[in-house]
Amino acid sequence: MYSTWDHHSDLEQRLSHNCRMTDQSTAALLKDLKQRSLLDETLAVWAGECGRTSMGEVRRGVTAGKEGRGHHPQAFNAWLAGGGIKSGYVHGQTDDFGFQVTENPVHVQTV
């Protein structure tokens, strides 16, 4: 149905579809690694090449009426599991709107 995570339009449908496709397989991978005692020595990383605005944006032109999200390189997230990462740890913080990093910035080129 949707072959991309580039949600510039149809945000609700596209994001829901893509999350359904990955949620179960991601959970299965982590469960399998844990059952095989490999999770402690394997670092699983879920990240993208850019951030996304934290709210849907009204579109004009071809995608008019189809809410989407723009690219947002100033602040974005990633999650890590296994590999000795402390469970529940959060590094960094943004302002209330997710526009700018306000605490513990990490530049993507240093990761």
Domain parsing of the chain, residue ranges? 11-110
Residue 33 has pLDDT above 80, yes or no: yes
Q: What is the pLDDT of residue 81?
A: 96
5 closest CA partner among 65, 76, 107, 91: 76
Specify whether the CB–CB gap between 39 and 26 falls below 8 A. Answer: no
Separation between Cα atoms, residue 75 and residue 95, nearest integer Å: 10
Q: Specify the higher pLDDT residue, 80 or 71.
A: 80
Average pLDDT over residues 46-73: 76
Tokens describing residue 41: 């020595």
Separation between Cα atoms, residue 111 and residue 92, nearest integer Å: 14
Q: What is the pLDDT of residue 76?
A: 83
One-letter amino acid at 111 equals V
* Tokens 């080129």 found at: 109
